[in-house]
Amino acid sequence: MSEPLLRTEGLTQHFRVGKLFSRQRLHAVDDVSFEIGRGEIVALVGESGSGKSTIARLLARVYKATAGDIYFEGKRVSTLRTRRQRLGYAGDVAMVFQDPYSSINPAYRITHPIERGIVLHRRDVARRRRENEVEKTLGTVGLVPAGRVAGKFPHELSGGQRQRVGFAAALAGKPKLIVADEPVSMLDVSIRIGVLNLMSELREREGLSFLYITHDVASARYVADRVLVLYAGHLVEEGPAEDVLQRPKHPYTQLLLSAVPDPRAALGISDAADVGEPPKVIDPKEGCRFRDRCPFAIAECETVTPQLREIGPRRRVACHVAEPDV
Amino acid sequence: MTLPSVADSVEPAGATVGSGPPEEATRRGAGADVFRAVAHNRKALVGLGLLLFFGVLAVFPGQIAPDDPRAKIYPRGLGPSVHHLFGTTAYGEDVFSQLVFGTRQSVLIALAVGGLATVIAVIVGVSAGYLGGKTDGVLSLITDVILVIPIFPLIIVIAAYERNSGFFTLVIVLGALGWSYGARQLRSQTLSLRRRDFLEAAVVRGERKRYVIVHEILPTMTSLILASFLGAALYAVLFAAGLQFIGLGDPNSQSWGTMLYWAENNEALGAGMAYWAIMPGVCVALLGAAFALLNYAFDEISSPALRLRKLERAGVDAERATAVLAVSPDPKNILEVRGLSVAYASEHGPVVAVDDVSFDLRRGEFLGIVGESACGKSTLVYAIARLLGAPLAGEITDGQVLFKGRDMVTLSDKQLRHIRWRDYSVVMQSAMNALNPVLTVAAQMRDACEAHSTMNKRQIEERSREVLRLVSIDPVHLHSYPHQLSGGMRQRAMIAMALLFTPELIIMDEPTSALDVVGQRSLMVQIKELQEQLGFAVVFVTHDMSLVRHFSDRLLVMYAAQVAELGRTAQLFRKPLHPYTDGLLEAFPSIHGPKEHLLGIPGSPPDLLRPPAGCRFAPRCPHVFARCTAERPRLLEVDGELVRCFLHDQPVVPVVEAKEGVA
């Protein structure tokens, strides 16, 4: 297979926690390996605290990984040294943030981050053509008439519009991959779909790849080609979206799916008896991190950390118990 | 329901539980806005006027003063007269002329010290806040040390060493010691900015550190920097005058402080030259006042919450309830809301956040109130619970809330205290904000019990354990602090507290929205089980229709402050009557069945300051026709449900009251 757009190998991020001389470490992300293909939308699904935002920030180089590597177009990202190399990566991998109310600087017009993206990453765009380019970008994300929107300050826009500005800012540097960290979770229900559709359109039109980070499984199914399920810093399941969500293999994925409120489905109150919560992973021992909530746990789960294993075409699960489809 | 000029993310409900919007409120960019705000602010106008006055004196003393301030040509110690407005000095100089010529130095010292101190404060404060780590440690230490040094004695020592210190010595000494307060404020502001995503966005974009500090952080802090400048200027005026007064300045300089020094040396007050001694002091006070007033004014301008006046009732244009409010309540209903309207004051006039809402709630019924942010759903339940108050003072402008037959709207605070918590209780959106972080769960339950009952210590402890067990929390957590509990447990603890007195009604404002799907689901199940077990009625506010699908008996869909649809949950899901409800249902992707392309609802909710003339949903409605934009639809009864839509306006008699039973 040819080299994917982005690939991580054993990506790991630990944070020091506790008091001054504490040696305790929070394992936010542990040994995570995945790929994102060109023009692919990959959903990273998990609850809060599962490490999904940490992965976003690792990809965006806000954090330096404790261990493991990111390869972008085959190049190891940790070897990027010069300002030019780093800027190049920043141009290729952009990010959309969760909170549209805090991700745009209130002191500037909304065109500011878009303009900066162009200034930093598209030096071929002459100064006098910049304004033009900014308006074109606004049009791409459906903010029209661009000329009028361009003069506004963030507080003059609604949440949905601001999130579109967030996408426009990400697009400004002509990236190849956009890491979207819960881009719709703070938006009103009626406008979420619009933003999800925007991601699909951008993929179709511009050939962009997305890492769509979310806790909302239904939206992941709606927009993504492939799904990665994260639990307590471990990747526990991955595969084509439809496959994972219709035939979940990992007991956690099954629990997650059973909890999704689905107005069209009948209610089974009894299936939601689980009151457990994801563990805080501080200095963990070996073993499956889901074992205390898992109805199928066996002795091995206490002692051996399950590794991702192939159970079907492009389908992997990290569980001692899960069986492939027969 | 939010103040439209302020960021629309903030629901007043959030403000009520303590996560207020002042930070959002500081967002204003357009210069025109600032100009208008200044023009309407009396403090700013007076401050600017004073500053302008002294500014003119400082620039053109020669043209204004009648005499050379040093010309000792008049009789000594004259009283005030037409020729000598404030008399003459013991040396025969004109006091008025000296005052005029002295202005320049005070103003210059203020500007120079203000500028120097602000530059240092910005560099130190912002670097400490943004760079963090060791840099922050060292810079903060220096700042704190300077902050606790008794400045006046130190300055006296320094100034005495540099005897007859002139202008530059003064500026440098005052500037070097006057920045610490501003630096502290700027540092903490930077720290809070550091968590804002736009800084991270700039870093991800590839900006350099210097750019982030200068172009992303500083522009958002202009009002604070200005405040720091004004504060330092004020301090400089007072300290410079003080130093010169005790003789540590250059006795030959022309300044108000030096005038005071000479007046004091000649015992001017006792010798009939009172104005010589008093007027420089008055000038110092006035110039200081100018800076202080401007400082206050910019504080007010940058946080509108400080200057919102009380709602002007006359301006409120709520649609009057047409129902006969004299109808006596039905004893089967625990709650009857009739024609309730709530308005907020805003800079641009009153905003009607709840517009003529009526519904009944049976005993033991579960009513879901659904709508998007700013549709008025939270305001509605806060009005019902009589929890509208500062800081975003909403006011009930019309209607009745009959709880067990009594009109809650007219109850006094004291009467409310008797029934709140005992007969009805409220569970807030964010337990982290609603719970007191420094008290254990047990202590908070004890406070509630002591305030609302006569239980003794043992009974309270017992009851607390009991309610915790009800919500499946191990009673050992009674002595935990809120931060020691997980998000789901905190939310459960809140519900346990609401159950302390087994109320008949519990109002819940998005109690699950801070939780993950799994926790959300299990909390919903728990609430439903408790309700079946204990029989209380629930009003449940949420933005997520699918969440209450299986738990609520009836649903009230709100759009733009009004009831769009009210009906039995099952029927509403099966056959939504209002296009908005339909759109909401279509906005959820499903995890089952075929994958469909969804469209959501185009556009966004209207600005409640200027709601559309006809139907408020018309601009986003796929079925809109001529009548929708011309006329306001009323609530119509269709198949026993209520809907506000002309599509259903067949030859049916319109009704206003929600009077139908429960499924």
Substitution target from A118, A189, A200 for chain B, most B beta carbons within 10 A: A189
Chain A partners of B600 at a C-beta cutoff of 8 Å? 190-194, 197
Substitution target from A275, A293, A294 for chain B, most B beta carbons within 10 A: A275
Indicate yes or no: CB of A101 within 8 angstroms of CB of B7. Answer: yes
Q: Is the pLDDT of residue B216 over 90?
A: yes
- Angstroms from A166 CA to nearest CA on chain B: 9
Cα angle A253, A272, A53 (rounded to 5 degrees) comes to 40
Whether B214 and chain A come into contact, CB under 8 Å, resolves to: no
- Angstroms from A103 CA to nearest CA on chain B: 4
Chain B partners of A272 at a C-beta cutoff of 8 Å? 521-522, 524-525
Closest residue in A to B473 (Cα–Cα) = A275
Ranges of residues in chain A with a pLDDT under 70 are 1, 18-21, 263-276, 325-326
Q: With 0-12 CB in 10 A as exposed, 13-18 as middle and 19+ as buried, what is B123?
A: middle
Q: Is the pLDDT of residue B316 over 50?
A: no
Facing B518 at nearest CB: one of A90, A153, A256: A256
Chain B partners of A53 at a C-beta cutoff of 8 Å? none
Phi and psi torsions of B358, nearest 5°: -130, 140
Indicate yes or no: CB of A105 within 8 angstroms of CB of B216. Answer: yes
- Residue B150 has a pLDDT of 78
Phi and psi torsions of A104, nearest 5°: -120, 135
**Residue ranges of B 100-159 with Cβ closer than 8 A to chain A:** none
Q: Is the pLDDT of residue B10 over 60?
A: no
Interior/surface letters B261-284, b for 16+ CB within 10 angstroms, e for the rest: bbbeebebeeeebbbbbbbbbebb
Q: What do you get for the CA distance between the two ends of chain A, in Å?
A: 26
**Residue ranges of B 505-524 with Cβ closer than 8 A to chain A:** 516-522, 524
- Angstroms from A61 CA to nearest CA on chain B: 7
Beta-carbon neighbour count of residue B452 at 10 Å? 17
Please tell me what DSSP assigns to residue B165. B
- If residue B643 lies in a helix (H) or strand (E), which one and from where to where? strand B641-643
- Residue A183 has a pLDDT of 92
Task: Choose between B195 and A19: higher pLDDT.
Answer: B195
- pLDDT for A47-94, tens place per residue? 888 899 999 999 999 999 999 999 999 999 999 889 999 999 999 999
**Residue ranges of B 166-195 with Cβ closer than 8 A to chain A:** 195
Whether B573 and chain A come into contact, CB under 8 Å, resolves to: yes
Facing A262 at nearest CB: one of B7, B222, B546: B546
Picking from B113, B120, B169, the residue whose alpha carbon sits closest to that of residue B143 is B120
ipTM: 0.90
Mean of all residue pLDDT scores within chain B: 82
Helix residue ranges per DSSP H, B428-551: 431-434, 441-452, 457-470, 487-498, 517-534, 545-548
Closest residue in B to A258 (Cα–Cα) = B518
- pLDDT for B344-391, tens place per residue? 887 777 889 999 999 999 999 999 999 988 888 989 999 999 888 655
Facing B590 at nearest CB: one of A48, A60, A262: A262
Per DSSP (E only), the strands in B299-389 are 333-344, 351-362, 366-370
Facing B219 at nearest CB: one of A94, A107, A216: A107
Indicate yes or no: CB of B522 within 8 angstroms of CB of A106. Answer: no
- pLDDT for B57-87, tens place per residue? 888 888 888 778 777 777 777 777 777 778 7
Substitution target from B8, B26, B204 for chain A, most A beta carbons within 10 A: B204
Average pLDDT over residues B234-242: 87
Indicate yes or no: CB of B591 within 8 angstroms of CB of A218. Answer: yes
Distances (CA, A) of B482 to A47, A317, B372, B478, B491: 21, 36, 29, 10, 10
- Residue B15 has a pLDDT of 29
Picking from A28, A26, A33, the residue whose alpha carbon sits closest to that of residue A10 is A33
C-alpha span between A309 and A33 (Å, rounded): 12
- Angstroms from B185 CA to nearest CA on chain A: 19
Substitution target from A55, A102, A271 for chain B, most B beta carbons within 10 A: A102
Q: Is B47 in a helix, a strand, or coil?
A: helix
Chain B partners of A123 at a C-beta cutoff of 8 Å? none
Chain A partners of B5 at a C-beta cutoff of 8 Å? 155
Indicate yes or no: CB of A169 within 8 angstroms of CB of B573. Answer: no
Residue B349 region by backbone torsions, left for phi larger than 0, else alpha for psi between -120 and 50, else beta: left
Chain B partners of A161 at a C-beta cutoff of 8 Å? 604
Chain B partners of A194 at a C-beta cutoff of 8 Å? 599-600, 602
- Angstroms from B292 CA to nearest CA on chain A: 25
- pLDDT for B11-42, tens place per residue? 333 222 233 333 333 344 456 667 777 788 88
- Residue B72 has a pLDDT of 77
Chain A partners of B201 at a C-beta cutoff of 8 Å? 95, 97, 103-104, 113, 169
Chain A partners of B205 at a C-beta cutoff of 8 Å? 90, 94, 113, 116-117, 120, 169, 173
- Angstroms from A36 CA to nearest CA on chain B: 19
Cis peptide before B633 (omega within 30 of 0): no
C-alpha span between B174 and B152 (Å, rounded): 10
Are the C-beta atoms of residues B464 and B442 closer than 8 Å to each other? Answer: yes
C-alpha span between B432 and B545 (Å, rounded): 24
Chain A partners of B520 at a C-beta cutoff of 8 Å? 259, 261
- Residue B380 has a pLDDT of 93
Indicate yes or no: CB of B595 within 8 angstroms of CB of A221. Answer: yes
Sheet strands side by side (includes B424-427): B424-427, B505-509, B537-542, B366-370, B554-559, B562-568, B641-643, B636-638
Facing B220 at nearest CB: one of A106, A160, A196: A106
C-alpha span between B478 and B74 (Å, rounded): 84
**Residue ranges of B 351-380 with Cβ closer than 8 A to chain A:** 372-373
Chain A partners of B207 at a C-beta cutoff of 8 Å? 116, 120
Interface size A-B, in CB pairs within 8 Å, comes to 205
Average pLDDT over residues B535-555: 91
Whether B479 and chain A come into contact, CB under 8 Å, resolves to: no
Q: What is the pTM of this model?
A: 0.82
The one-letter amino acid code at B138 reads V
Task: Choose between B611 and B69: higher pLDDT.
Answer: B611
Facing B518 at nearest CB: one of A120, A191, A274: A274
Whether B525 and chain A come into contact, CB under 8 Å, resolves to: yes
Q: Is the pLDDT of residue B462 over 60?
A: yes
Indicate yes or no: CB of A99 within 8 angstroms of CB of B197. Answer: yes
- Angstroms from A194 CA to nearest CA on chain B: 6
- Residue B310 has a pLDDT of 52
Chain B partners of A57 at a C-beta cutoff of 8 Å? 200
Whether B197 and chain A come into contact, CB under 8 Å, resolves to: yes
C-alpha span between B620 and B635 (Å, rounded): 19
Chain B partners of A95 at a C-beta cutoff of 8 Å? 201, 204
Beta-carbon neighbour count of residue B157 at 10 Å? 11
Mean of all residue pLDDT scores within chain A: 89
Please tell me what DSSP assigns to residue B237. H
C-alpha span between B518 and A46 (Å, rounded): 11
- Residue A275 has a pLDDT of 58
Percent of chain B beyond pLDDT 90? 33
- Residue A49 has a pLDDT of 81
Q: Is the pLDDT of residue B617 over 90?
A: yes
- Angstroms from A110 CA to nearest CA on chain B: 11
Distances (CA, A) of A193 to A160, A184, A189, A220, B583: 10, 8, 8, 12, 11
Chain A partners of B26 at a C-beta cutoff of 8 Å? 106
